[in-house]
Structure 1
Amino acid sequence: MYLSLPLPSTVTRMMTVTVFSGTGDSLPMPYTVTVPKNGVCRDLCKALSDACCLKESETLLLGEVYDYRIYRYFSPLELLHIIKDGDQLVAYKLPAGHEKLLRIEILHRNVDRIYSRAPV
């Protein structure tokens, strides 16, 4: 009288990424987007671009933060299934031609700490 059926597996997953402005003109903002479970980082960047209204003159640099530091950057073809649900992901809005730059330096500062020191 009973029929066992397998539960349907999901083909998408939700990922939360904090997007930082490359110019510092806006506060960091977390975005939660839906991506294919077996997709690549390019799919995540596309979903984030739509969510944060990225301009055509901008692109996203996707990275992972561990122990309050940038642990690694993701290439567009890296598989999303290697990113765990607990990983802290960040994306930086950069000019579209940032790949041609020799060096990109990303620096986070606590504003209170900067202005609380006396000038030297």
Structure 2
Amino acid sequence: GLEADLQKLGLQENDKNPDEDIDDGKAFLPKLFELTGRVKIPVVISQLKRWLNDNEGKIIVFAHHHSVLDQIEASLKAIPTIRIDGKTSPKKRQELVVSFQKDTRVRVAVLSTTA
């Protein structure tokens, strides 16, 4: 969980200046940014499932980090979903876009903000 992740970063609840314990300050902020995305996942998934249950349309979900995309995608295994991220080839990307647009069963697109 979050507490374990913060401990991995060398942050303790009683730390007065967490930057003192971090060797590479440049690595700290991106990791913290990722953690802020990860802590939102349960609420995002809950709201997404509620929306899908209450509506018949399609929805697009954007996320920045692969770990966040992975967890959102995994939570929707029972729902036909497409995913496009930086690892998706241009050809496959186009196929997925067409699938999302044309296939009425595909209701969710999970997309990377950097794809």
The TM-score with structure 1 as length reference comes to 0.25
Larger radius of gyration: 1
Larger proportion of strand: 1
Larger proportion of helix: 2
